[in-house]
């Protein structure tokens, strides 16, 4: 049996909900389970050093580029951040632009975008491209011509609700969330008819009034409760469940929403900082798991939910995996939401000592020592609110059995203060200092993690935080960029660097790969984050100085 066939067979045996062909990357996360795994083996450890640029596309803006392209046939679709042209259809072999689409965006929309005016990409189904806009619309385009098919309002963006991530396709339904956890919005997930753009259902992710779970909020605080599902979803067609992570509760100050202590009690603030499993036909919540009840640290639960079939407790179990911002790596049964394991995946986590597998709740540090309260300062809390991992996607290699995580190593001080809600403005109710390096004085780095044994296999550290997402292949390679602008390939088993290329600007976007006419290509978008460094003091200044802003799509292939 040839190596390529054998590797693909192993991948199928190890399990995936939808295993892509070697030529495919038709979804933001590589497949519906966001594994970012490719069956491609043409580029391997023996020849990856011969990768070179085949073509490049200037995206026309220098603001926080975060898009991962997708491939449909021989056409690549990629988005830019805030700028004159937002969606590009490109010949994936040559880089020739087939069409561009630029939605009309109201002036001043950037004030409602918490963490910059970015776009992470598009989705495709049945001849149409779908994407969300900064003024919170969902738009469908004809994939061949770029002409608008329909546009639907998702929510009023002026409350602080931009859309920056691609929607999830589940049969004939297009599912999207929106941002706003820092603005006091009430989060929701919304399903639209793929053909017409008609709204089919709307599921609020924060209950109010007489709704089930509303009593987990103090008084009427849930009206401005956050819980926004602003990142990407996953879809299991066999179980017919869509999975989304939800953001922090609002405001960050927990005393506004419940007890001002680690005695969480009933004030868990559902369904914030959680994973929600939903029936895409109805929008009904099938189950949920809450990572950080009554969150006081802005430990957003939105990070991508990655599928795997893992040997757990003596049997192979379909699971979702998440490297949560709170510093713990979770393995959850994706059929019923049962927590299977949870372990600290970054050094220095001190807000909690572990996770109780019976209750599913974190075991907080004693005596409120790391829980900020109203006029009670918590010092040197690790990780800080950017998390042990931020949004930059991890990947799961079905051959090596490892997860590759872009980690962070930052700590913070935080204290609750009194603040009134004002529509369309930040609603935080805290003072904070985020500019503290964690243990060892590095910014984090690329980590290989064994999700069954829940332990580190190898790690390559970086002096600065906020490095790029990852992609991995059946030939055992891992690709990732960094804040300095280097795009690298690593040996997935050992972490050895095998190749690098300087893109000229920091990389946070995750790469992808595809094959056309028997030739494998690797693509990544380069363009350093703009807004995040401002929150990190001297560390942020070093991030800015590490590379200029940029906006370029690079595509590589073997010589």
Kindly list the catalytic residues. Answer: 298
Gap between the Cα atoms of 373 and 387, Å rounded = 19
SS (H, E, C) 45-80: CCCHHHEEEEEEEECCCCCCCCCCCEEECCEEEEEC
Do 134 and 157 meet the contact criterion of CB atoms below 8 Å apart? yes
Q: Where are the alpha helices (DSSP H) in 343-423?
A: none
| CA dist 135 → 86, 109, 120, 158, 191 (Å) | 13, 7, 15, 8, 18
| CA dist 186 → 176, 206, 403, 427 (Å) | 14, 6, 33, 12
Q: What is the CA radius of gyration of the chain?
A: 22
Tracing tokens 């500019």 back to the chain, one arrives at: 435
Gap between the Cα atoms of 205 and 190, Å rounded = 10
Gap between the Cα atoms of 172 and 192, Å rounded = 8
Q: Report which secondary-structure segment, H or E, holds 297.
A: none
Q: Report which secondary-structure segment, H or E, holds 180.
A: none
Count Cα neighbours of 110 within 13 Å in the Cβ-side half-sphere: 11
What the block records as the tokens of 357 is 């597998």
Gap between the Cα atoms of 200 and 316, Å rounded = 35
**Pick from 312, 304, 382: nearest CA to 342:** 312
Q: Report which secondary-structure segment, H or E, holds 295.
A: none
What the block records as the tokens of 16 is 């995936």
What the block records as the tokens of 219 is 């008084």
3-state secondary structure of 311: strand
| CA dist 13 → 29, 82, 92 (Å) | 20, 42, 31
Segment 355-362 long-range contacts (CB within 8 Å, at least 24 positions apart): 355/328, 355/330, 360/289, 360/290, 361/264, 361/293, 362/291, 362/292, 362/293, 362/326, 362/328
What the block records as the tokens of 1 is 């049996």
Residues 6+ apart with CB under 8 A from 257: 217, 218, 221, 222, 225, 249, 251, 267, 269, 294
Gap between the Cα atoms of 504 and 523, Å rounded = 15
Do 306 and 31 meet the contact criterion of CB atoms below 8 Å apart? no
- State the distance between the two ends of the chain, measured CA to CA, in whole angstroms: 27
């Amino acid at each position: 049996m040839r190596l390529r066939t054998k590797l693909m067979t192993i991948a199928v045996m190890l399990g995936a909900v939808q295993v892509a062909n070697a030529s495919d990357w038709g979804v933001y996360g590589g497949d519906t389970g966001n594994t970012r795994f490719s069956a491609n083996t043409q580029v391997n450890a023996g020849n990856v050093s011969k990768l070179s640029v085949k073509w490049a596309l200037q995206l026309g803006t220098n603001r926080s580029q975060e898009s991962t392209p997708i491939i449909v046939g021989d056409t690549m679709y990629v988005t830019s951040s805030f700028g004159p042209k937002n969606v590009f259809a490109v010949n994936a072999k040559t880089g020739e632009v087939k069409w561009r689409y630029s939605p009309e965006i109201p002036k001043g929309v950037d004030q409602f975008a918490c963490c910059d005016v970015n776009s992470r990409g598009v989705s495709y189904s049945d001849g149409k491209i779908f994407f969300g806009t900064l003024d919170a619309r969902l738009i469908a385009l004809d994939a061949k011509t770029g002409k608008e098919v329909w546009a639907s309002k998702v929510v009023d963006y002026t409350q602080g609700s931009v859309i920056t991530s691609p929607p999830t396709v589940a049969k004939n339904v297009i599912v999207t969330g929106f941002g706003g956890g820092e603005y006091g919005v009430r989060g929701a997930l919304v399903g639209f008819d793929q053909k017409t753009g008609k709204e089919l259902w709307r599921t609020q992710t924060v209950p109010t009034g007489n709704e089930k779970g509303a009593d987990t909020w103090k008084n009427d605080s849930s009206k401005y409760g956050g819980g926004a599902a602003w990142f990407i979803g996953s879809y299991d067609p066999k179980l017919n469940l869509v999975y989304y992570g939800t953001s922090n509760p609002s405001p960050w100050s927990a005393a506004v929403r419940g007890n001002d202590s680690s005695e969480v009690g009933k004030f868990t603030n559902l369904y914030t900082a959680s994973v929600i499993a939903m029936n895409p036909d109805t929008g009904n919540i099938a189950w949920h798991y809450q990572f950080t009840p009554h969150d006081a640290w802005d430990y957003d639960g939105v990070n991508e939910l990655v599928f795997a079939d893992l040997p757990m407790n003596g049997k192979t179990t379909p699971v979702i995996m998440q490297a949560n911002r709170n510093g713990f790596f979770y393995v959850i049964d994706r059929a019923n939401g049962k927590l299977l394991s949870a372990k600290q995946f970054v050094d220095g986590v001190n807000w909690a000592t572990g996770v109780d597998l019976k209750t599913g709740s974190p075991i907080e540090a004693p005596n409120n020592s790391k829980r900020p309260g109203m006029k009670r300062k918590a010092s040197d809390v690790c990780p800080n609110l950017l998390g042990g991992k931020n949004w930059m996607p991890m990947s799961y290699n079905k051959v090596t059995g490892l997860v590759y995580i872009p980690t962070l190593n930052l700590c913070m001080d935080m204290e609750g203060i009194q603040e009134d809600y004002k529509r369309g403005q930040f609603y935080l109710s805290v003072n904070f200092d985020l500019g503290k390096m964690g243990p060892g004085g590095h910014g984090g780095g690329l980590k290989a993690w064994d999700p069954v044994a829940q332990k580190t296999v190898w790690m390559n550290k970086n002096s600065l935080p906020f490095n790029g997402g990852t992609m991995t292949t059946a030939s055992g390679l891992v690709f990732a960029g960094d804040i300095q602008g280097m795009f690298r390939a690593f040996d997935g088993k050992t972490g050895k660097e095998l190749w690098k290329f300087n893109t000229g600007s920091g990389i946070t976007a995750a790469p992808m790969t595809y094959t056309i006419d028997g030739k494998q290509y690797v693509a990544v978008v380069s363009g350093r984050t703009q807004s995040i460094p401002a929150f990190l003091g001297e560390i942020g200044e070093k991030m800015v100085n590490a590379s200029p802003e940029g906006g370029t799509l690079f595509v590589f292939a073997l010589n």
